[in-house]
Amino acid sequence: MSSSVHYPSASLKPHREESLQSGHLWIFSGALQQPPHWIEPGGLVDVKSSTGKFVARGYYNPHTDIAIRILTNDIEEAIDREFLRRRIRSAIELRQIFDADRTNTYRLIHSEGDGLPGLVVDRYADILVAQIHTAGMDRLRPLLIDAFMEETGATGMLFRNEGQSRRREGLELEEPVVAAGIVPDHLTPGMVRKRVSSLINVINARLYGNMPGTSGF
């Protein structure tokens, strides 16, 4: 982290920073003094108060009512690979409450709840299935792939970017794609803990859907 990190800025109308200071993670377009049209959809931005004071850092999209989604309120925190790795490590530590002998299938990243707005990642044994819903997260995709594979020890990562919310962000829907490692055609009961092994058909349907060549339904 470095205090020399700066991004293009967007200024809030008077007193609009108060909701952010109380923990709110969205900035609606009406809260901005002037939309920063020079920033591309998904571009990183420093949010400043009407008096020019740094408030938070996030990513911007001019196409949505939620203009900025907050990533950090720390001016020294750059949005880079290390930032993503810290968020992932925090999520992993939080999930240690689960009994590893009973389940290895759970939601690893739940968007704003884990400090990564617009991203959902489910873990099925050693396979990660990710959904990107926002332009800001889409721009971070290459860094996300590396960070997740390094931090989780997963053997494969699959993207299923089929949600209609992507259209509102100006993003295209995509066919499921293996982003890293190896993803098997289907999971078997022996690959998941016995607590959830009886749900293997449901898991495979969730993981693969109707992908060609898979056993999903």
Residue 120 covered by a domain: yes
Domain check: are 145 and 61 in the same one? no
Domain check: are 198 and 92 in the same one? yes
Strands (E), the chain: 9-11, 26-28, 43-48, 54-60, 66-72, 105-110, 119-124, 127-132, 156-159, 177-181
What pLDDT score was predicted for residue 4? Answer: 65
pTM (2 d.p.): 0.83
Assigned token pair, 159:
């993207």
Q: What is the mean pLDDT of residues 16-26?
A: 90
Last residue of a domain, one of 72, 92, 111: 72
Provide the percentage of residues in the chain whose pLDDT is more than 90.
65
Task: List the domain range (segments joined by +) for residue 134.
Answer: 81-208
Beta-strand relationship, 156-159 and 127-132: parallel
What pLDDT score was predicted for residue 21? Answer: 85
Residue 42 covered by a domain: yes
Chain segment 25-58, per-residue pLDDT in tens: 999 999 999 888 889 999 999 999 999 999 999 9
CA dihedral (101, 102, 106, 108) in degrees, to 10, reads -30
Last residue of a domain, one of 53, 72, 91: 72
Query: What's the sign of the alpha-carbon dihedral 50, 55, 60, 65?
Result: negative
Domain check: are 24 and 114 in the same one? no
H or E stretch at 212: none
pLDDT for residue 202 is more than 50:
no
How many domains are there within the chain? 2
Q: What confidence category does residue 98 fall into, taking pLDDT thresholds of 50, 70 and 90?
A: confident
DSSP 155-206: SEEEE----THHHHTT------EEEEE---SS--GGGS-HHHHTTHHHHHHH
Residue 38 covered by a domain: yes
Domain check: are 51 and 133 in the same one? no
Residue 214 covered by a domain: no
Domain check: are 165 and 61 in the same one? no
Chain segment 139-153, per-residue pLDDT in tens: 999 999 999 999 999
Chain segment 60-79, per-residue pLDDT in tens: 999 999 999 999 999 999 99
Domain check: are 141 and 165 in the same one? yes
CA distance 10 to 142: 26
What pLDDT score was predicted for residue 112? Answer: 96
pLDDT for residue 131 is more than 50:
yes
Residue 215 covered by a domain: no
φ, ψ dihedrals at 123, nearest 5° = -110, 125
CATH number where 38 lies: 2.30.130.10
pLDDT for residue 11 is more than 70:
yes
CA distance 108 to 124: 10
Domain check: are 86 and 63 in the same one? no
What pLDDT score was predicted for residue 16? Answer: 93
pLDDT for residue 215 is more than 50:
no
CATH number where 204 lies: 3.30.750.80
More confident residue, 60 or 23: 60
Domain check: are 68 and 96 in the same one? no
Task: Return the SS3 of 62.
Answer: coil
Residue 213 covered by a domain: no
What pLDDT score was predicted for residue 22? Answer: 85
Domain check: are 91 and 180 in the same one? yes
